[in-house]
Copies of this chain bind each other. A is one copy, B any other.
């Protein structure tokens, strides 16, 4: 009986959390499966994944250098943990299913490749040779496959499903760019025009293709047009048509295709989820069902209230009996003391509904000091706080506060006024706590009450620390001040909450937060892969010197080839691939698509880097990358000089295609759909 109950409970909680794993239903199988789903183990897996990804900060090129053996051992431990998790999973589900699931094969392959790569790399390093840790590229795959990141996997599936459609639009788009480039070559190439830097304008086909590709992103508009436009007004037509077709129409079509696929796929996924959930609940029902009394046939199997109560207590041990009673009364509408399959199946959804218990409990002060709390003065205070004008007054106070924040905080008058405002905000919270029942005021769904209180209390603490520091040594910590200012300004957000329409928009935005988190993981995966490749290709090409450095190399980012370049002139030296954090920020700048041709020129100017790279490769026979670059060079067959140029461009264009055309459009589709549904 106990085992049956546990089995049913597992089915119900699988349905509740949309898990979809087939497991062995023997008693020890069930225990193993419950252990597999234990939150502690899940957390541990996430910790190991984060450690594994974070290793990039400690490996060469490192943000915080650690000896090689330390990172290798840390990675080994992570791999062991992942293997353990996988072995656990293999013992939970039937052998056949385990080997049929691409996810598991993927994990095994990644672990094997990583091990092999670690051994090769370790021994090469030990022998004093140059080595590349290729398998670092594969780490994000573990994030996608090991965790129960269904949302993330769904997003990837959605991309994979959209790819064929996107491919054809992309084909047309690239064809269009190539045709326009050919036209540009023929129209402008022979006119002897010059770019602003004095180079010949639009004479090399591949250069034109690149320039016009960049124009799609608008990053070099209107510069790329100016030489032609300055020579003849009518040439502007070429660029206008180009931008209309490629920037506006094709980019919209990309969005349309991605959005369409996203919606189509989402619907299908939701349908499957509902079906799986139902089948789990039916299985739970079958385990617990009893046929009523002596009626032989046609009698519908049911579950008694006693059994149901036991089940709910196992599934959700913390549930209050009032809540459980409520759920039962919703299920057993006929009050028979037993429910059929139809009613039982709802349980998973019922458990997911947050029941807000809005008992009108008396205020604790009323219980404690009833005479005082019910006095005329006290009742007047409560009425004032509940009045609309109270909110308006505080809105005005917030706006006055905003003006004071804008003023110079080093003026002692103004810093004292800050105390007044803090006092007013604190008063507001205390008054509200006096008026409203505190547990209702701090209920889970009272987002803005929590927000206000946390902000005001933190601001109070931070301001106090700051004053103490200043009083102590006349010294004021910039970090603490920064926090104080951010808290003060966040407080102003409350004003917007007073406008009803704005509040509903803000609530929608808050609701789509989790979706954006999924998207954050998606972009983490893509960024991580590009960062690894970028660091391998471009590390150390560009060096950043602190502003107090007197090194003469500072003027050209430590690379003589960058002398006099736009890149150095714009002080872009910190935009480099020298560590994981810089790489991520650089990739973000590339995502925003502006100045990326200039950033790229920083990478390009290290003209010799690929030569060095090739010689290293040839020395150490890193076959995969060698093959990749040979393919690239074959593809372009325009000699080595162009390849050094072009391969850096390929990296950046590839990034643009993956991130801007696909990922950002998915994001916009996310937001569009979420907004349509929620708002």
Residues in B with CB closer than 8 Å to A236 are: 585
Q: Contact check, A592 vs B218: say whether CB atoms are below 8 A apart.
A: yes
Chain B proximity of A224: nearest CB distance (Å): 10
**Residues 198-237 of chain A, each 1 if its beta carbon lies under 8 Å from chain B, else 0:** 0000000100000000000011111100110111010010
Given A168-B499, A222-B595, A671-B253; A187-B482 close (CB under 8 Å): yes
Question: Given the known A-B contacts A182-B489, A595-B223, are A574 and B252 also in contact in the complex, defined by CB atoms under 8 Å?
Answer: no
Residues B240 and A588 in contact, CB atoms below 8 Å apart: yes
Contact of A226 with B574 in the complex, beta carbons under 8 Å: yes
Residues from chain B with a CB closer than 8 A to the CB of A248 are 664, 667-668, 671
A199 to chain B, nearest CB (A): 13
A454 at the interface (CB under 8 A from B): no
Tell me the bound Cα distance from A42 to B582 in angstroms: 63
A668 touching B255, Cβ below 8 Å: yes
CB–CB B226/A570 < 8 A: yes
Asked if A230 contacts B179 (CB within 8 A), the reply is no
Q: Are A249 and B509 in contact (CB under 8 A)?
A: yes
Cα–Cα distance between A247 and B222 once the two chains are bound (Å): 21
Residues of chain B within 8 A (CB-CB) of A223 are 570, 595
Chain B binder among A50-58, A271-279, A355-363, A500-508: A500-508
Give the residues in chain B near A259, CB-CB below 8 Å: 672
The docked-state distance in angstroms from the alpha carbon of A228 to that of B485 is 17
Q: Using Cβ atoms and an 8 Å threshold, which residues of chain B touch A574? A: 226, 229-230
Is A30 on the interface with B (CB-CB < 8 A)?
Answer: no
Known: A249-B671, A506-B172, A595-B221. A256 touches B183 (CB 8 A): no
Complex interface: chain B residues within 8 A of A547 (CB): 230-231
If the complex has contacts A253-B509, A668-B252, A671-B249, are A243 and B592 also in contact, measured as CB distance less than 8 A? yes
Please give, as numbers and ranges, the residues of chain B lying within 8 Å of A171 by CB-CB distance.
496, 499, 502
A471 nearest CB across to chain B (Å): 20
Contact flags A493-525 to B (C-beta < 8 A → 1, else 0): 101100101100110010000001000000000
A196 touches B485 (CB 8 A): no
Residues of B within 8 A of A442 (CB): none
Please tell me if A383 contacts chain B, counting CB pairs below 8 Å: no
The answer on a CB contact under 8 Å between B671 and A252 is yes
The digit string for A472-497, where 1 denotes a CB below 8 A from any CB of B, is: 00000010001001100100110110
Chain B nearest Cβ from A669, distance in angstroms:
9
A651 interfacial contact with B, CB 8 Å: no
A593 CB-CB contact with B under 8 Å: yes
Within 8 A of B (CB), among A657-676: 664, 667-668, 671-672, 675-676
Known: A221-B589, A222-B595, A592-B247. A493 touches B571 (CB 8 A): no
Check: A544 CB closer than 8 A to any chain B CB. yes
Interface centre among A243, A489, A582 (most CB of B within 10 A): A489
Q: Which residues does chain B contribute within 8 Å of A260, judged by CB atoms?
A: 675-676, 679
Find out whether the CB atom of A218 lies under 8 angstroms from the CB atom of B594.
yes
Are A186 and B255 interface neighbours, CB within 8 A? no
Which residues 167-183 of A have a CB within 8 angstroms of B?
Answer: 168-169, 171-172, 175, 179, 182-183
Kindly state the separation between the CA atoms of A303 and B505 in the bound complex, as whole angstroms: 56
Q: Which of A294-340 contact B (CB under 8 A)?
A: none
Closest to A227 in B: B571
Sorting the interface of chain A by its residue count into under 10, 10 to 19, 20 to 34 or 35 or more gives: 35 or more
Q: How far is the CB of A408 from chain B (nearest CB, A)?
A: 9
Given contacts A218-B593, A222-B572, A252-B672, are A505 and B186 in contact (CB under 8 A)? Answer: no
Q: Closest CB of chain B to A518's CB: distance in Å?
A: 14
A516, B672: Cα distance in complex, Å: 22
Contacts of A570 in B (CB 8 A): 196, 223, 226
Nearest-Cβ distance from residue A638 to partner chain B, whole angstroms: 13
Most buried by B among A222, A227, A581: A222
A405 at the interface (CB under 8 A from B): yes
> How close is A509's CB to chain B, nearest CB, in angstroms?
7
Cα separation A574 to B234 with both chains bound (whole Å): 13
Question: Are A256 and B676 in contact, with the CB atoms below 8 A?
Answer: yes
Which one of B485, B499, B571 lies within 8 Å of A230 (CB-CB)?
B571
Say yes or no: B179 contacts A492, CB within 8 Å.
yes
> Across the interface, which residues of B come within 8 angstroms of A409, CB to CB?
186
- Is there a chain B Cβ closer than 8 Å to A575's Cβ? yes
Residue A185 CB within 8 A of the other chain: yes
**Are B218 and A183 neighbours in the complex by a CB distance under 8 Å?**
no
A402 at the interface (CB under 8 A from B): yes
> Which of A186, A231, A409 has the largest number of chain B CB atoms within 10 A?
A186
- Distance A679 CA – B585 CA, assembled complex (angstroms): 38
Contact mask A580-598 → B, CB, 8 Å, 1/0? Answer: 0110010011001111000
- The CA-CA distance from A510 to B499 in the complex, in Å, is 45
Least CB distance, A596 to chain B, in whole angstroms: 9
Q: Does A406 reach chain B (CB closer than 8 Å)? A: yes
> What residues of B have a CB within 8 angstroms of the CB of A182 in the complex?
402, 405-406, 489, 492
Which residues of B sit under 8 angstroms from A595, Cβ to Cβ?
221-223
Cα separation A172 to B222 with both chains bound (whole Å) = 31
Query: 20 A-B residue contacts at CB 8 Å?
Result: A168-B502, A171-B499, A171-B502, A172-B502, A172-B506, A175-B495, A179-B489, A179-B493, A185-B406, A186-B405, A191-B478, A196-B569, A222-B589, A222-B592, A222-B594, A223-B570, A236-B585, A243-B588, A252-B667, A260-B675
Q: A218-B594, A230-B573, A594-B594 are in contact. List 19 more A-B contacts (CB 8 A).
A: A168-B502, A171-B502, A172-B502, A172-B506, A186-B485, A196-B571, A218-B593, A221-B592, A222-B572, A222-B594, A222-B595, A226-B574, A230-B544, A230-B574, A248-B671, A253-B671, A255-B668, A256-B672, A256-B679
Closest 7 pairs between A and B when the two form their complex, measured CB to CB: A186-B485, A252-B671, A256-B675, A168-B501, A221-B594, A222-B589, A218-B594
Chain A residues within CB distance 8 Å of chain B = 168-169, 171-172, 175, 179, 182-183, 185-187, 191, 196, 205, 218-223, 226-227, 229-231, 233, 236, 240, 243, 247-249, 252-253, 255-257, 259-260, 402, 405-406, 409, 478, 482, 485-486, 489, 492-493, 495-496, 499, 501-502, 505-506, 509, 516, 544, 547, 569-575, 581-582, 585, 588-589, 592-595, 599, 664, 667-668, 671-672, 675-676, 679
